[in-house]
């Protein structure tokens, strides 16, 4: 019996921006249930990888496979069906500033065009509850939210379609230490409860230590280290050593 396909597989991935290669022959395989922390230097293309997994950017060469299917070879409808299984939490939340919290979370549900108003209402309040917010918060505008609340609303929206894969871009950026720890605890609880596979970009050692089961180190245009978090963090690669010792400037 053949093994199930990886949730994410980057095969010989190369990315060129102008005349400069950001990635060259990059390989990465993420299995179901893993929480992979992606670290690397400034400009190494960490967020670009997330956007490629989400189908927003096409690589120059190589393949991005999600749930065993090549995104680049998929037709429009097939790609849309694949990406409905993926949720994305952008660094700044990326909420629609002109829409209240309720409508921000409801937006992807309306896009399905198969749910009635009552079902959408129930699902929105369920998602708010999942991220430990109250139904009354649904009427607030994004400008009325604290930084931690913005993250939670954005997470509720990312989870609206019951994704199997969750992509996180700097999930605790901009939060004070207490709110960051609370958000990491929430993410860990939801990952365990929902059985999510997670790929996250982070420069925060506490977020990495609190969530990641595996770490991928992006340097020299490729993944130079990948494995269980404790094993990678014990390594001697300069990026890993700097991260471990708190010298984060090279990893932002």
Residue 165 in this model has a pLDDT that exceeds 50: yes
Lowest-pLDDT choice from 23-32, 127-136, 213-222, 230-239: 230-239
Instruction: Look at residue 233 in the predicted model and tell me its pLDDT.
Output: 84
User: Which helix H or strand E contains 201, and what residues bound it?
Assistant: strand 197-201
250: pLDDT confidence band, cut at 50, 70 and 90?
Answer: very low
Q: What is the pTM of this model?
A: 0.92
User: Can you tell me the mean pLDDT for 93-119?
Assistant: 92
Instruction: Look at residue 98 in the predicted model and tell me its pLDDT.
Output: 97
Residue with tokens 């094993």: 231
Q: Are strands 214-219 and 222-228 parallel, antiparallel or unpaired?
A: antiparallel
For 212, other C-beta atoms within 10 Å of its C-beta total 23
CATH code for the structural domain at 31-58+74-247:
3.40.50.300
Instruction: Look at residue 109 in the predicted model and tell me its pLDDT.
Output: 92
Instruction: Look at residue 2 in the predicted model and tell me its pLDDT.
Output: 65
pLDDT tens for residues 14-55? Answer: 999 888 999 999 999 999 999 999 999 888 889 999 999 999
> Order of strands, edge to edge, in the sheet holding 222-228?
86-89, 165-169, 197-201, 35-40, 214-219, 222-228
Instruction: Look at residue 114 in the predicted model and tell me its pLDDT.
Output: 77
Domain boundaries defined on the chain? 31-58+74-247
Integer-rounded Cα radius of gyration of the chain: 18
Instruction: Look at residue 185 in the predicted model and tell me its pLDDT.
Output: 96
């Amino acid at each position: 019996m053949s093994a199930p396909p990886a949730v994410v597989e980057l095969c010989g991935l190369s990315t060129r921006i102008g005349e400069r290669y950001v990635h060259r022959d990059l390989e990465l395989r993420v299995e179901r249930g893993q929480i992979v922390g992606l670290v690397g230097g400034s400009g190494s293309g960490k967020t670009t990888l997330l956007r490629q997994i989400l189908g927003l950017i096409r690589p120059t060469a190589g393949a991005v496979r999600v749930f065993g299917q090549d995104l680049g070879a998929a037709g429009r409808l097939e790609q849309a069906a694949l990406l409905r299984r993926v949720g994305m939490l952008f660094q700044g939340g990326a909420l629609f500033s002109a829409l209240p919290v309720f409508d921000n979370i409801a937006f992807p549900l309306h896009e399905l065009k198969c749910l009635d108003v009552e079902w959408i209402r129930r699902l929105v309040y369920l998602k708010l509850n999942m991220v430990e917010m109250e139904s009354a918060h649904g009427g607030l505008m994004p400008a009325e939210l604290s930084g931690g609340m913005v993250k939670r609303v954005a997470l509720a929206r990312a989870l609206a379609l019951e994704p199997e894969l969750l992509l996180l871009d700097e999930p605790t950026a901009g939060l004070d230490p207490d709110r960051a720890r609370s958000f990491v605890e929430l993410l860990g609880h939801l990952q365990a409860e929902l059985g999510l596979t997670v790929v996250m970009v982070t420069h925060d050692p506490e977020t990495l230590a609190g969530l990641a089961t595996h770490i991928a180190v992006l340097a020299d245009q490729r993944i130079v280290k990948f494995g269980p978090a404790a094993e990678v963090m014990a390594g001697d690669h300069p990026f890993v050593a700097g991260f471990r010792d708190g010298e984060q400037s090279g990893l932002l």
